[in-house]
Amino acid sequence: MILSPTYVIDKITDISIDMLRKINICGLILDIDDTLVAPDSNNISEEIINWLNSLKEEKIKIIFVSNNTEERVKKFTENLNKFDIDIPWISMSCKPLGFKIKQAIKKISCDFNNIILVGDQIFTDILAANLLHIKSILVNPVSKPSNLVMKFKRKLENKIRTRKK
């Protein structure tokens, strides 16, 4: 189904190196807002920092692909740089359209079969992955929706999420 993720996991740090190795993943495309941190937050938890470092140590390639602005994504990644974590990124990606995701895959030099897209939204992240025929992981959002549009989208997504369980 076009809106069905390949995997559903509670939070991003539940994605283990062992899991990624079992499904032959060499690269992660990561959403930022509500996947790693609350929208517009740059406060990255120690747990996330340790998780990102462990992926890099295991030579798993990472790229951030966000629908947010260049300014937002740049600030987020600059904050990560303080922890010696340098991850390439693409902003204004227009997910679920796939052209920037294809750029991301090319940038980290992984085959489509060895990539997984991780995000919190079904109608952007999961739909984008499915349109490109790549694996996906749906995580629970890290914050509650703050505006009417997101509240509406979350209600629709919750209907799909509860059908998956």
Q: Residue 42 has what pLDDT?
A: 86
What are the residue ranges spanned by the domains of the chain? Answer: 7-164
pTM of this structure? 0.90
Task: Give pLDDT, residue 163.
Answer: 60
Q: Work out the angle at residue 34's Cα, subtended by the Cα atoms of residues 157 and 49, and round it to the nearest 5 degrees.
A: 140
CA distance 134 to 30: 13
Cα–Cα distance, 142 to 153 (Å, whole number): 15
pLDDT value at position 164?
52
- What averages of pLDDT result for each successive group of 10 residues across the chain (165 residues)? 91 96 97 92 92 96 97 94 94 96 95 96 95 96 82 78 60
Q: Is 92 left (phi over 0), alpha (psi -120 to 50) or beta?
A: left
Q: What is the DSSP letter of 31?
A: -
Choose which CATH entry (3.40.50.720, 3.30.465.10, 3.10.180.10, 3.40.50.1000) describes domain 7-164: 3.40.50.1000
Q: Which amino acid is at 98?
A: G
Distance CA 42, CA 52 (A): 15
pLDDT score at 146: 78
